[in-house]
């Protein structure tokens, strides 16, 4: 089995340089050291390093839905940074449950050096307790109602909802439905608020039967879309508040043989890898998903530097944009027949 001295000899550096590299510190010959580690299959003694440094070299990541492609992209971005600094990720799924999230965070607090969290709701108390105990926490995608004291990487959810509404309004739609996420979460509430603000400013009313609250899950979106199609006057356009909601709506529209966008236009929040390949290709509100993960990890690593622990919180709000494809169009001459 290769030793740290073997790695040093292969890279042409001292064992001390290799040791610093393995602890995540910057060294001049980092590429040569990494190449030597890879070529020799060197496995550092993590337990020994942790005992000596007081750190676990592990970062906890808690997301509300591990099946959501958005969070897969975010975690990919995190890992692209953490591995270069010698940290491993411990990934957990809260399943949109505040109670489960609290249990996970309590367990992680004994195993990790810091945590990146997408809170299940805006009212969780455990992140506050972690921060007060000295464990760095960075929020991603979601926030707390009083989360200003935390580092965070967010997107302008309100602007995203507004852009979706303005896009449909510009096409001539006035009978527009929205399937949002839970209103106790930042994305669910702000995307809905932005959407309603835009249609209201245009003098368009969204009646209660078109303003539906989902749970960011595919099955619930499927059922809510069926309820829209059963109305005496179905909508001519639908805005779905995340990618899984979009998939549920698409499946319902397909099963009911509704032509998109001929009978109903559809715009979703968050792109999908398959978005351009769908028939029709999907119009979406897009955001830089992987980059969010990269920035969140950089913020957390910044907090690991003792000289930076007292810095004021850094809160990054990233821009969003509309990606226009073929799932939205002006209202067609024929609305879908109500499905009973």
Domain ranges in the chain are 1-44, 48-155+289-319, 157-287
pLDDT at 98 over 70: yes
pTM of the entire predicted model: 0.83
DSSP 77-120: HHHHHHGGGT-EEEEEE-TT-HHHHHHHHHHHTTT-SEEEE--S
Q: What is the pLDDT of residue 309?
A: 61
Q: What is the pLDDT of residue 160?
A: 98
Q: What is the pLDDT of residue 199?
A: 98
pLDDT at 18 over 70: yes
User: Averaged over 31-51, what is the pLDDT?
Assistant: 74
Of the two residues 27 and 89, the one the predictor is more confident about is 89
Cα separation of the two ends of the chain: 68
Q: If you average pLDDT over every residue of the chain, what do you get?
A: 91
Q: What is the pLDDT of residue 51?
A: 44
Distance (Å) of CA 207 to CA 167, 174, 231, 302, 313 = 19, 11, 12, 47, 40
User: Averaged over 52-74, what is the pLDDT?
Assistant: 89
Q: What is the pLDDT of residue 1?
A: 67
User: Averaged over 279-306, what is the pLDDT?
Assistant: 94
Q: What is the pLDDT of residue 118?
A: 97
> Considering only the top CATH level, what class is 1-44?
mainly alpha
Domain 1-44 matches domain 157-287 at the CATH topology level: no
Cβ within 8 Å of residue 246, ≥6 positions away: 221, 240, 266, 268, 269, 270, 272, 282, 284
CB-based burial of residue 20 (10 Å sphere; 0-12 exposed, 13-18 middle, 19+ buried)?
middle
pLDDT classification of 211: cutoffs 50, 70, 90: very high
**Tally of CB atoms within 10 A around 32:** 17
pLDDT classification of 306: cutoffs 50, 70, 90: low
Q: What is the pLDDT of residue 4?
A: 87
- Evaluate whether 140 touches 119 at the Cβ level (below 8 Å): no
- Per DSSP, the chain holds a count of helices (H) and strands (E) of 12, 12
pLDDT, one tens digit per residue, over 226-248 is 999 999 999 999 999 999 999 99
Q: What is the pLDDT of residue 338?
A: 67
**Tally of CB atoms within 10 A around 187:** 26
- CATH label, 48-155+289-319, candidates 1.10.3470.10, 3.90.650.10, 3.40.50.920, 3.40.50.2300: 3.40.50.2300
Q: What is the pLDDT of residue 336?
A: 66
Among 42-56, 94-108, 247-261, whose mean pLDDT is lowest?
42-56
Provide the CB-side half-sphere exposure for 172 (13 A, CA): 6
- Domain spanning 157-287, CATH architecture: 3-Layer(aba) Sandwich (3.40)
pLDDT classification of 163: cutoffs 50, 70, 90: very high
Do you know the residue count of the chain? 340
Choose among 296, 248, 308: nearest CA to 272.
Answer: 248
Question: 310: which 2 tokens?
Answer: 């007292």
pLDDT at 186 over 80: yes
The H or E element containing residue 283 is strand 283-286
Most distant pair of Cα atoms in the chain: their distance: 77
pLDDT at 313 over 60: yes
pLDDT at 213 over 70: yes
């Amino acid at each position: 089995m290769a030793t740290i001295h073997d790695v040093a000899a292969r890279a042409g550096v001292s064992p001390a340089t290799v040791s610093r590299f393995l602890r995540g510190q910057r060294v001049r010959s980092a590429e040569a050291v990494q190449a030597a580690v890879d070529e020799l299959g060197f496995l550092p003694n993590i337990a020994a390093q942790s005992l000596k440094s007081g750190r676990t070299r592990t970062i906890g990541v808690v997301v509300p839905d591990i099946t959501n492609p958005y969070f897969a992209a975010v975690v990919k971005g995190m890992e692209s940074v953490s591995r270069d600094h010698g940290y491993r990720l411990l990934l957990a799924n809260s399943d949109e449950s505040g109670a489960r999230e609290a249990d996970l965070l309590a367990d992680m607090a004994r195993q990790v050096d810091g945590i990146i969290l997408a809170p299940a709701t805006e009212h969780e108390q455990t992140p506050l307790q972690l921060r007060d105990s000295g464990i760095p926490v960075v929020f991603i995608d979601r926030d707390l109602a009083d989360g200003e004291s935390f580092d965070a990487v967010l997107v302008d959810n309100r602007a995203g909802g507004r852009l979706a509404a303005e896009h449909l309004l510009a096409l001539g739609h006035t009978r527009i439905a929205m399937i949002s996420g839970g209103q106790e979460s930042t994305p669910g509430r702000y995307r809905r608020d932005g959407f309603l603000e835009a249609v209201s400013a245009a003098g368009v009313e969204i009646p209660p039967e078109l303003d539906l609250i989902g749970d960011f899950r595919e099955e619930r979106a499927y059922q809510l879309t069926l309820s829209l199609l059963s109305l005496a006057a179905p909508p001519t356009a639908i805005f779905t508040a995340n990618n899984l909601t979009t998939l549920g709506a698409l499946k319902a529209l397909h099963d009911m043989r509704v032509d998109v966008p001929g009978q109903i236009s559809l715009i979703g929040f968050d792109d999908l890898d398959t978005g351009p390949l769908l028939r029709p290709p999907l119009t979406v509100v897009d955001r830089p998903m992987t980059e969010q993960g990269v920035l969140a990890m950089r913020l957390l690593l910044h907090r690991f530097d003792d000289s930076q622990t007292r810095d004021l919180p850094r809160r990054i709000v990233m821009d969003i944009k509309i990606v226009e494809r073929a799932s939205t169009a002006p209202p067609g001459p024929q609305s879908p027949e109500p499905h009973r």
